[in-house]
Structure formats: C-alpha cells, structure tokens
Amino acid sequence: MAAGRERVKAWRPAIDGISEVLHARFTEHAYPLHVHDAWTILIVDEGMVRYDLDRHEHGALEGLVTVLPPDVPHNGRAASAYGFRKRVLYLDRDAIGGDLIGHAVDHPGLADLELRRAIDRLHGTLLRPGDDLEAESRLALICDRFRGHLARRETLAAPDPCLARDLRDLLDARVREGLSLREASGFLRRHPAHLIRAFTREYAMAPHQYLISRRVDQARHLLLRGLPPGAVAAETGFYDQSHLTRHFTRILGVSPARYAS
C-alpha cells in the first residue's frame, strides 16, 4: 500500500513466534496511543521516531533497537519533516516472556549493535522463501539476547557435544522434509537457543547452514545422475529451483546447470 511518500509492506511469515512483519516509510502519519498484544521489535533505517511509552517520552534512533512490550500504550511520530523508515517484527507474547514486560517499559531502547545486525539479517532472511530454519534460528538467538538484556544477565549454553550430535542426527534424518526448531526442541527437550549454541560450538556452523549444505551435497549427486535442476530442487527439499540455485552457487561457486554440464 502506498499513499504519496508513505509506503507500507506487511506480511505474516510462516515462522513460529512471528505474528507479523512490517516495513514502512512515513512522513506525515502519526500513530495515536494504541496497544499491541505482541512484542514490537523496531529498528529505524532512516530518520528518527519519537514516541511515548507509559507516559514517558523516548526516541527510536538508527543505532538503537527499540522493544515495546505487549499491552502497554504507546504512540509514534516522525521527529522531523523528512519522516522515517523502519522495519518491525511483531513477536508472540511468549517469544520473549510476559514476566519481562516491566523491564522493557523501563528500558525500551537498547544500544546493542550486534543485536541490531542480527535483526537486520533476520529481516533479510524473511524476505527469501524457503529459508525457514535459518529464520527460526536467527529468531531464537535474538529472543534469547533480548531476555538477557531485559533480565540484566546473559544466558549462555554450556558445551554439550552429545546434544549437538543428537541434533545432527535429527537433521540427517530429515534432509528433504526439514526440521523446525520447535520440533527439535520437543524431541531433545532443550530450549532452541541452547540447541543452536551447542550445535554451532561443536560443528562451527549453525543448524540451518548444516541442513543447507547436506541438501546441496545431495543435489550434486542427483545432477550428475542427469536429473534436471527443477526436479533436484524438489527432491532435496529446496523451496524451488531458484532457492536451490542461490545456495548451490554460494557453496560451490557454480550454478546447478553448469555443474551438471
């Protein structure tokens, strides 16, 4: 939807924990006081947003991550005539935890550059179909970092090579079908962020990177057997042929078609 210089793109990705994604540019629109039933995670790419939260004025700047908790009234408006450009994640209430709402009201602006970069990368992943496990992994680590900030502590996973191997076995058994973090967490009875850290520490790559590499490896063999790239993509669990091509080229430096020839 667009009206003049106002632009809005909103969608609901098929990722557990994310209720909505919003990319917008506003120059004249001012949000009145309102509430959400979700956590609002805001990064500003251009300009500045002024807002009131629990009767206190704040500013969302380009270098900050802003977290607005559920059920707490807030508004929003541009700080200058230029307006602002923002990207927003709306996360389910239990993605971060209702017990941390008070901490977020007290400190909604986080000066954490690495967290901001992680949120930026998650937005990029959500724009690409087929990379669901990567999006889930990024989201789990982001939520864990938020909980560390809001609870005034960092939660670090202890080394656990057995857990990492168990997760690798699950991924190996589900190369084509894929595996969500929620499923893995249920099977192994560990928090998703703990699973990701244990796996990455043991194998020097994230679970989604491992799964993609296994799919590309299988794709190589099928291409050399003469299957066309479209059929190979479907057979190895990629979203479509372009999804296969992007990851195949990134890992092997050549497109599937050229590899097969």
| DSSP sequence for 215-251 | HHHHHHHHHHTT--HHHHHHHHT-SSHHHHHHHHHHH
Looking at the fold, whether 60 and 176 belong to one and the same domain comes out as no
pLDDT surpasses 90 at 54: no
Residue whose tokens read 């977290």: 67
Q: Letter for the amino acid at 228?
A: P
Q: How far is CA 183 from CA 54, 120, 186, 190, 209, in A?
A: 37, 25, 5, 11, 17
Cα gap 100→181, rounded to integer Å: 23
Same domain, 8 and 101: yes
Number of domains in the chain: 3
Give the pTM: 0.83
What is the mean predicted confidence (pLDDT) over 33-56?
Answer: 92
Task: Give helix then strand counts, H and E, for the chain.
Answer: 11, 11
Residues 135 and 57 in one domain: yes
Q: Which helix (H) or strand (E) holds 22?
A: strand 18-26
Q: Mark whether 177 and 119 lie in a shared domain.
A: no
Reported in sequence order, the residue ranges of 64-207 that DSSP labels E, i.e. its strands, are 65-68, 74-78, 84-91, 109-110
CA 228 to mean position of chain CA atoms: 32
Whether residue 217 sits in one domain with residue 195: no
Same domain, 135 and 242: no
- Does the pLDDT of residue 25 top 50, yes or no? yes
Of 3 and 199, the structure prediction assigns the larger pLDDT to: 199
Query: 237 and 176 in one domain?
Result: no
Same domain, 233 and 182: no
The upper half-sphere exposure of residue 216, i.e. CA atoms within 13 Å in the direction of its Cβ, equals 22
DSSP state at residue 13: -
CATH of the domain at 252: 1.10.10.60
Q: Does residue 95 share a domain with residue 193? A: no
25 and 77 in a single domain? The answer is yes
Q: With a cut of 60, say whether residue 6 has pLDDT above it.
A: yes
Residue 220 is predicted with a pLDDT of 92
Radius of gyration of the chain (CA): 21
pLDDT tens per residue across span 103-141: 888 889 999 999 999 999 999 999 998 999 999 999 999
Calculate the alpha carbon distances from 53 to 33, 42, 71, 131, 157 in Å: 9, 14, 11, 35, 33
Could you tell me what percent of the chain has a pLDDT over 90? Answer: 73
CATH code, 84: 2.60.120.10
| Angle at 119 (CA atoms; ends 196, 98), nearest 5 degrees | 75
pLDDT, residue 157, reads 47
Phi-psi region of 226 (alpha: psi -120 to 50; beta: other; left: phi over 0): left
Distance CA 205, CA 199 (A): 7
Do residue 143 and residue 164 come from a single domain? Answer: no
CA distance from start to end of the chain: 44
Report the mean per-residue pLDDT for the chain. 90
User: Where does a domain end: 101, 120, 148?
Assistant: 148
Q: What is the pLDDT of residue 159?
A: 64
Is the model's pLDDT at 2 over the cut of 50?
Answer: no
pLDDT digits (tens, 9 = 90+) for 163-197: 999 999 999 999 999 999 999 999 999 999 999 99
Which segments within 92-236 are labelled E, that is strand? 109-110
Alpha-carbon distance of 239 to 246, in angstroms, equals 11
**Is residue 209 scored above 70 in pLDDT?**
yes
Confidence label for 14 from pLDDT (cuts 50, 70 and 90): very high
pLDDT at 261 over 90: no
Both 85 and 22 in one domain: the answer is: yes
Domain boundary residue among 120, 148, 176?
A: 148
Nearest CA-CA partner of 245 in 22, 83, 228: 228
Q: What is the pLDDT of residue 33?
A: 87
Q: Is the pLDDT of residue 98 over 80?
A: no
Last residue of a domain, one of 127, 148, 169: 148
Range of the domain at 238: 212-260
